[in-house]
């Protein structure tokens, strides 16, 4: 029970990697906040699975790109669980197009969720996260791969990495701040619209000849969310099977 007595907010955790993280962390003793923006039914299904396994969790709706909703997310978590020990910034969106085809709205929506969302939650955590807490932000291996059509998404994740490094030295109070950069992972968000040929190409780029399963990423998050990881801070941890 590595996370017993810890209260953890996981943004965008109603499905995909976020859901797998929520379920695993709850199994390890954490009190989990399953945050969602629109997927209420999926969030409730995640809560039901956690409860079935004997865990403790609540679902809280909040759009992390909106400051006032992030404030409410933290305040409601503190009312429910008394504190926030760990913040996991998993929420994100991805639109794939060549640079010339991106609209202004495409650009703005990705930066609003992927960058402003992390900024909003870290800013709130600066005052409301418990002493000796942990912040884990989600980046992506796409920051290094230079894949066509990923230009804006990769740019948002590069911004997250830089905010992570700087904030780790600013925040104080014993709080550690890191980012995790998964490689291709079998989620609805990632697989949508991709051909079998492209998926096969990605599988061949790592050392294990497969895409990651969400649980592969969740197990790394379990370590990084625990006190065992406290001497790691200001780092971007690759989780991509030696892809790069």
Taking the C-alpha atoms of residue 236 and residue 228, their distance in angstroms, rounded to an integer, is: 17
Taking the C-alpha atoms of residue 12 and residue 36, their distance in angstroms, rounded to an integer, is: 5
Tokens 């991106």 correspond to what residue?
Answer: 102
Q: Give the H or E element holding residue 3.
A: none
Phi, psi torsion values for 111, nearest 5 degrees: -70, -35
Tokens 């379920």 correspond to what residue?
Answer: 23
Retrieve residue 77's tokens.
């978590």
- Active-site position among 119, 138, 153, 167: 153
Q: What is the DSSP string of 96-154?
A: ---GGG--HHHHHHHHIIIIIHHHHHHHHHHHHSPTT-EEEEE--THHHH--TT-HHHH
- What distance lies between CA 23 and its chain's CA centroid? 14
Q: With b meaning 16 or more CB within 10 Å and e meaning fewer, what string describes 207-242?
A: eeeebbebebbbebbbebbbeebeeebebbbbbbbe
Name beta bridge partners: 113. Answer: none
Catalytic, 153? Answer yes
Taking the C-alpha atoms of residue 129 and residue 9, their distance in angstroms, rounded to an integer, is: 10
Residues labelled catalytic: 153
């Amino acid at each position: 029970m590595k996370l017993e007595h810890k209260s953890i907010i996981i943004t965008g955790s109603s499905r995909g990697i976020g859901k797998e993280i929520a379920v695993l962390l709850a199994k390890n003793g954490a009190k989990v906040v399953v945050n969602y923006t629109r997927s209420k039914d999926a969030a409730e299904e995640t809560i039901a699975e956690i409860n079935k396994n004997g865990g403790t969790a609540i679902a809280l709706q909040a759009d992390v790109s909106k400051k006032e909703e992030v404030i409410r997310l933290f305040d409601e978590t503190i009312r429910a669980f008394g504190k926030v020990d760990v913040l996991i910034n998993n929420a994100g969106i991805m639109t794939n197009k060549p640079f010339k085809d991106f609209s202004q709205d495409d650009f703005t929506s990705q930066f609003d969720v992927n960058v402003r969302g992390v900024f909003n939650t870290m800013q709130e955590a600066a005052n409301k996260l418990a002493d000796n807490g942990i912040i884990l932000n989600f980046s992506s291996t796409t920051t290094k791969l230079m894949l066509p059509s990923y230009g804006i998404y990769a740019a948002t994740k590069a911004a997250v990495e830089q905010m992570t490094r700087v904030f780790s030295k600013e925040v104080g109070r014993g709080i550690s701040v890191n980012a995790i950069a998964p490689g291709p992972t079998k989620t609805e968000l990632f697989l949508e619209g991709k051909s079998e040929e492209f998926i096969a190409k990605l599988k061949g780029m790592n050392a294990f000849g497969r895409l990651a399963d969400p649980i592969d990423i969740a197990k790394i998050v379990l370590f990084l969310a625990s006190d065992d990881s406290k001497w790691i801070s200001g780092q971007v941890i690759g989780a991509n099977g030696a892809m790069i």
